[in-house]
Structure 1
Amino acid sequence: MTSDPEILFHEPGATLWWLAAGPVAAVLMMFIQVSSGYGWHPLLPGVFLVLVTGFLGLQVKAARIHTSVELTREYLRQGTETILLSEIARIYPEADGPEVPKWQSYRALGELTGVPRGRTGIGVKLSGDRRAQAWARRHRNLRAALVSVVDEGVAS
Structure 2
Amino acid sequence: MTVPTDERLFYEPGASWAWLLAGPAAAGAMLAIQISAGYGLQPLVPGLFLVLVSGFLAIQVKAARIHTSVELTRDTLRQGVETTRLAEIVAVYPPATGSEVPKWQSARALGELTGVPRGRTGIGLKLSNNRTAQAWARRHMKLREELTRLVEERVP
Distance 1:102 1:154 in 2: 22
Deviation at 1:118, TM superposition (A): 0.2
Contact 2:23 2:49 in 1 (8 A): yes
Deviation at 1:104, TM superposition (A): 0.3
Deviation at 1:70, TM superposition (A): 0.3
**Within 5 Å, which residues of 2 pair with 1:1-156?**
5-155=6-156
1:97-129 per-residue CA deviation (whole Å, 9 max, x = no partner) reads: 111111100010000000000000000011111
Which residue identity lines up with residue 142 of structure 1 in the other structure?
Answer: L
Distance 1:50 1:153 in 2: 51
**How does the TM-score come out when normalised to structure 1?**
0.96
Distance 1:136 1:25 in 2: 31
SS at match of 1:7: coil
Structure 1 residues without counterparts, runs of 5 or longer: none
Distance 2:142 2:50 in 1: 37
1:41-80 per-residue CA deviation (whole Å, 9 max, x = no partner) reads: 1110000000000000000000000000000000000001
Give the fraction of aligned pairs with identical amino acids, expressed as a percent: 67
Distance 2:71 2:135 in 1: 11
Distance 1:46 1:153 in 2: 56
Structure 2 residues without counterparts, runs of 5 or longer: none
Distance 2:7 2:67 in 1: 21
Deviation at 1:6, TM superposition (A): 1.1
Distance 1:59 1:33 in 2: 28
Provide the alpha-carbon RMSD of the alignment: 1.0
Contact 2:122 2:136 in 1 (8 A): yes
Runs of 4+ in 1 over 4 A off after TM superposition: none
How many residue pairs were aligned? 153
